[in-house]
């Protein structure tokens, strides 16, 4: 069996498309050229995969605009290192300063992108983040109990009522003793789908309830739209419930499932008290943009509803061979399942699913959940699409485009007649693809961006690891045309693009210093001070072009815990100041935005003079923006003093004259 499986599996590695060299059309350069000083037409938010960050590109140019740290510490601006941001990475396991960010989802109102927030999933230590698109900063992170490998996440409903998070790994539940043999999987392991509610005004998240489901691997998801608004669809694999050698043991069955969940009814049941409470422990971290400070709260309880107790909530739909992507077309009628090992793409009909449920057209049940007959849910199949279908998005003109991982191509097909219209090679092995608004009710069918896993020979060699890359195609004509390749930061999984006009005018330019509620703010140079309280020393230090107040500090002693509270007094766009101090172990710099206060904790390790300076080239005299702090022995009696512009050498000590 293993030999046969190995043969089958070897065909899963990517193959190289033939006509690789000349796939770019003549006017491609013109179409992606954005003149210096001109803005791009779209923002493209791209997941960083195993670097745990989100990057922001302009399209069509492919220019990198920003990297936003989400689940990983970021020495470039001090995220996760400053006292204000450390709580963001807290979890029930303590600080987890890294994660694997796969998917991004822009918030929606009435099924259209509203430009307020973007959600991100952490695939390793299960978390969901909300990033604020006025500040481009991570505003909130929610850990998920009873989960492991938060992969089918963070997909949202049409009015951002809920963000869902389905677990990839089945595990013993958090309130169980997990010290059990792994091969008791089928008896003791379970899976959970979390429904996180999002406050309409503030965006604040809450784990509203969890759905307890059989121990299969939940992979991807999408909510319904329009007529299917009340439903969510989740792809799952490993319906074999294997716990070892999944590449063989979880590829046995001809069909796995898509799980259809009526979330509206589930919400009603939860509100009616049909769930039960379970003791758990998970972190909820919130960044407050008034105090420029985050807090982490450990939540202790979750409401759980069991799928098999609630008969009319969940239905399984058979889906060929290990489905991955689960995508819903703009009308909400068609649900596309992409079986990684399937030689066709099944398209399910929402109306037919509803009819099958009404008629009880089931072939049986799986762990207490009814299984709808495949043919009764099926609208039709796309025949011979290519090898290794993974993800599908929609162009708003009645077509779908699907990535083919194994045959390295994108394939466009018509949703109604399921006929293939066009196929184009990609370089190489595409995972996700994205059309601006391509998973919403209103796609903007100008471009498709394809995220490739492998680039091989596309770029200059850079040692054993080569760039990952995105490719931009023009999809306005009958044939999809390759316009541009651009390397990405980290491994791009999903990305979402949106017209720049939806976001750009909301962008915050600086923070009002008068509204700064950080308890350690110094609102002007007159407020700058150094305060000793036992072994704790608080330095309230300000920055403005091009000096610190204070910039000479003495009287710090060994064993002191020093907190540098750095306030940037500037009230202008694009004038951050940096702060770095020699020898600061376990810390990075701080990059302080205008009007903001950020804090660096520092424990000097030996007596001496420690320079500090601004790291961001802020003015012609940026190199002069520097200072000194003196550290003395623990028992010294050097008094605590601080100043700027006063602590000059004795006037008898003049600097040497220039002699000739
Ligand atoms: S999944 S391609 Cu998370 Cu397809 Cu990455
Ligand atoms: Cu401030 Cu350089």
Q: Are 483 and 473 in contact (CB under 8 A)?
A: yes
641 pLDDT above the threshold of 90: yes
Q: Which residues of 555-570 are buried (b: 16+ CB within 10 A; e: fewer)?
A: bbbbebebbbbbbbbb
268-288 tens-digit pLDDT: 999 999 999 999 999 999 999
Q: What's the confidence (pLDDT) of residue 586?
A: 86
3-class secondary structure, 312:
coil
Which residue is listed with tokens 């500037």?
570
Q: What is the mean pLDDT of residues 556-580?
A: 98
Q: Using alpha carbons only, how large is the chain's radius of gyration in Å?
A: 28
Evaluate: CB of 577 within 6 angstroms of ligand 2: yes
- Ligand 1, atom 4, lies closest to the CA of 431
Average pLDDT of the chain is 95
Q: Are 375 and 317 in contact (CB under 8 A)?
A: no
- Three state DSSP letters for 608-652: EEEEEECCCCCCCCHHHCEEEEEEECCCCCCCCEEECCCCCCCCC
Q: What's the confidence (pLDDT) of residue 16?
A: 54
**Measuring CA to CA, which residue among 2, 6, 11, 8 is closest to residue 406?**
11
Q: Are 543 and 565 in contact (CB under 8 A)?
A: no
190-223 tens-digit pLDDT: 999 999 999 999 999 999 999 999 999 999 999 9
What number does the ligand 2 atom closest to the CA of 546 have?
Answer: 1
Whole-angstrom distance, CA of residue 106 vs CA of residue 203 = 12
DSSP strand pairing (552-557 vs 626-632): parallel
Whole-angstrom distance, CA of residue 402 vs CA of residue 435 = 11
Q: Are 604 and 583 in contact (CB under 8 A)?
A: yes
Q: What's the confidence (pLDDT) of residue 24?
A: 79
Q: What's the confidence (pLDDT) of residue 6?
A: 40
242 pLDDT above the threshold of 50: yes
Query: pTM of this prediction?
Result: 0.96
β-sheet bridge partners, residue 150: 167
- Ligand 1, atom 1, lies closest to the CA of 493
Q: What's the confidence (pLDDT) of residue 7?
A: 40
CA of 84 to the centre of ligand 2 (A): 21
CA of 237 to the centre of ligand 1 (A): 14
Angle at alpha carbon of residue 356, lines to 352 and 357, rounded to 5°? 120
Sign of the CA dihedral 195, 201, 203, 206?
A: negative
CA of 452 to the centre of ligand 1 (A): 11
- Ligand 1, atom 3, lies closest to the CA of 102
Q: Phi and psi dihedrals of 335, rounded to 5?
A: -120, 120
Give, for ligand 1, the residue of 155, 494, 495 to mutate: max count of ligand atoms closer than 8 Å to Cβ.
494
The count of other CB atoms within 10 Å of the CB of residue 637 is 8
> pLDDT band for position 311 (50/70/90)?
confident
In 478-528, which ranges are E strands? 481-488, 495-499
3 pLDDT above the threshold of 90: no
Q: What's the confidence (pLDDT) of residue 441?
A: 98
Whole-angstrom distance, CA of residue 375 vs CA of residue 377 = 6
3-class secondary structure, 28:
helix
> pLDDT band for position 68 (50/70/90)?
very high
Which residues, other chains included, contact 61 with Cβ-Cβ below 8 Å and sequence gap of 6+?
32, 33, 34, 40
CA of 657 to the centre of ligand 1 (A): 67
Whole-angstrom distance, CA of residue 638 vs CA of residue 557 = 9
Sign of the CA dihedral 82, 83, 84, 87?
A: positive
CA of 154 to the centre of ligand 1 (A): 12
3-class secondary structure, 536:
strand
**Measuring CA to CA, which residue among 500, 1, 432, 527 is closest to residue 220?**
432
Which residue is listed with tokens 């610190």?
548
| Residues making up the chain, counted from first to last | 660
Evaluate: CB of 625 within 6 angstroms of ligand 2: yes
Number of H helices and E strands in the chain, helices first, is 7, 45
152 pLDDT above the threshold of 90: yes
What number does the ligand 1 atom closest to the CA of 325 have?
Answer: 4
The least confident of 306-315, 563-572, 611-620 is: 306-315
Evaluate: CB of 618 within 6 angstroms of ligand 2: yes
Q: What's the confidence (pLDDT) of residue 151?
A: 97
CA of 622 to the centre of ligand 2 (A): 5
What letter would DSSP give residue 343?
A: S
Whole-angstrom distance, CA of residue 131 vs CA of residue 468 = 24
Whole-angstrom distance, CA of residue 129 vs CA of residue 279 = 23
**Measuring CA to CA, which residue among 484, 498, 469 is closest to residue 104?**
498
Whole-angstrom distance, CA of residue 553 vs CA of residue 418 = 73
Q: Are 579 and 566 in contact (CB under 8 A)?
A: yes
**pLDDT: which is higher, 529 or 16:** 529
3-class secondary structure, 74:
strand
Evaluate: CB of 570 within 6 angstroms of ligand 2: no
In 3-62, which ranges are E strands? 42-47, 53-59
CB-hemisphere CA count at 13 Å for 108? 28
Whole-angstrom distance, CA of residue 474 vs CA of residue 446 = 6
Q: What is the mean pLDDT of residues 223-240?
A: 97
CA of 623 to the centre of ligand 2 (A): 7
CA of 547 to the centre of ligand 2 (A): 8
Q: What's the confidence (pLDDT) of residue 15?
A: 53
Which residue is listed with tokens 């982490």?
296
Q: Phi and psi dihedrals of 394, rounded to 5?
A: -125, 140
- To the nearest whole percent, how much of the chain has pLDDT over 90? 91
Q: Which residues of 218-238 are buried (b: 16+ CB within 10 A; e: fewer)?
A: bbbbbbbbeebbebbbbbbbb
**Measuring CA to CA, which residue among 315, 313, 319 is closest to residue 375?**
319
Q: Are 579 and 590 in contact (CB under 8 A)?
A: yes
Evaluate: CB of 102 within 6 angstroms of ligand 1: yes
What number does the ligand 2 atom closest to the CA of 545 have?
Answer: 1
Evaluate: CB of 453 within 6 angstroms of ligand 1: no
Q: What's the confidence (pLDDT) of residue 467?
A: 86
Which residues, other chains included, contact 129 with Cβ-Cβ below 8 Å and sequence gap of 6+?
70, 71, 119, 120, 121, 122, 138, 140, 141, 142, 154
Whole-angstrom distance, CA of residue 122 vs CA of residue 140 = 13
Evaluate: CB of 431 within 6 angstroms of ligand 1: yes
8-66 tens-digit pLDDT: 444 455 555 555 445 677 889 999 999 999 999 999 999 999 999 999 999 999 999 99
Q: Are 415 and 347 in contact (CB under 8 A)?
A: yes
Distance between first and last Cα of the chain: 90
């Amino acid at each position: 069996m293993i030999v046969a499986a190995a043969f089958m599996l070897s065909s899963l590695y990517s193959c190289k498309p033939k006509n690789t060299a000349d796939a770019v059309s003549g006017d491609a350069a013109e179409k992606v050229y954005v003149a210096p000083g001109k803005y791009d037409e779209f923002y493209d938010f791209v997941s960083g995969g195993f670097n745990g960050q989100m990057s922001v590109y302009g399209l069509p140019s492919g220019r990198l605009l920003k990297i936003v740290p989400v689940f990983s510490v970021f020495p470039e601006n001090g995220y996760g290192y400053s006292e204000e941001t450390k709580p963001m990475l807290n979890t029930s396991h303590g600080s987890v300063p890294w994660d694997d960010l796969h998917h991004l989802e822009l918030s929606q109102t009435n099924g259209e992108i509203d430009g307020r927030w973007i959600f991100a999933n952490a695939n390793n230590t299960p978390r969901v983040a909300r990033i604020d698109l006025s500040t481009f900063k991570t505003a909130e992170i929610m850990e998920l109990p009873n989960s492991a490998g938060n992969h089918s996440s963070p997909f949202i409903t049409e009015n951002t009522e809920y963000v869902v998070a389905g677990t990839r790994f089945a595990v013993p539940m958090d309130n169980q003793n997990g010290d059990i043999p792994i091969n008791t999987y089928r008896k003791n392991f379970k899976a959970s789908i979390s429904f996180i509610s999002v406050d309409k005004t503030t965006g604040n998240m809450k784990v509203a309830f969890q759905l307890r489901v059989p121990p299969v691997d939940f992979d991807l998801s999408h909510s319904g739209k329009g007529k299917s608004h009340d439903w969510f669809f989740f792809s799952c694999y490993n319906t074999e419930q294997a716990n070892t050698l999944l590449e063989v043991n979880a590829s046995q069955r001809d069909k796995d499932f898509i799980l259809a969940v009526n979330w509206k009814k589930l919400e009603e049941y939860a509100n009616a008290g049909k769930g039960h409470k379970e003791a758990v422990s998970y972190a909820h971290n919130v960044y407050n943009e008034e105090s420029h400070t985050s807090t982490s709260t450990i939540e202790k309880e979750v409401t759980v509803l069991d799928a098999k107790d609630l008969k009319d909530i969940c239905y399984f739909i058979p889906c060929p061979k290990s489905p991955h992507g689960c995508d819903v077309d703009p009308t909400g009628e068609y649900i596309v399942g992409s079986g990684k090992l399937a030689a066709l793409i099944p398209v399910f009909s929402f109306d037919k699913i509803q009819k099958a449920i009404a008629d009880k057209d089931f072939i049986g049940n799986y762990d207490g959940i009814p299984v709808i007959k495949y043919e009764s849910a099926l609208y039709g199949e796309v025949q011979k699409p290519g090898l290794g279908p993974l993800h599908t998005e929609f162009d708003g003109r009645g077509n779908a485009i699907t990535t083919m991982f194994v045959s390295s191509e994108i394939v466009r097909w018509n949703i109604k007649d399921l006929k293939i219209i066009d196929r184009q090679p990609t370089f190489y092995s595409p995972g996700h693809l994205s059309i601006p608004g391509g998973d919403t009710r209103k796609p903007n069918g100008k471009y498709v961006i394809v995220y490739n896993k492998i680039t091989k020979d596309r770029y200059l060699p850079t040692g054993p690891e080569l760039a990952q890359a995105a490719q931009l195609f023009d999809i306005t004509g009958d044939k999809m045309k390759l316009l541009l390749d651009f390397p990405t930061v980290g491994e791009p999984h999903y990305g979402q693009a949106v017209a720049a006009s939806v976001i750009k005018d909301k962008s915050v330019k600086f923070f009002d210093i008068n509204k700064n509620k950080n308890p350690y703010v110094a609102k002007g140079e007159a407020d700058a001070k150094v305060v000793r309280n036992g072994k704790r020393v608080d330095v309230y230090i300000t920055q403005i072009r091009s000096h610190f107040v204070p910039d000479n500090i003495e009287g710090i002693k060994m064993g002191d815990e020093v907190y540098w509270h750095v306030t940037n007094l500037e009230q202008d766009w694009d004038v951050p100041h940096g702060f770095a101090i020699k020898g600061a172990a376990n810390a990075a710099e701080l990059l302080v935005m205008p009007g903001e206060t950020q804090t660096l904790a520092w424990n000097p390790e030996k007596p001496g003079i420690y320079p500090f300076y601004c790291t961001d080239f802020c003015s012609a005299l940026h190199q002069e923006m520097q200072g000194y702090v003196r550290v003395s022995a623990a028992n010294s009696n050097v008094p605590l003093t601080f100043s700027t512009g006063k602590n000059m050498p004795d006037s008898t000590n003049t600097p040497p004259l220039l002699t000739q």
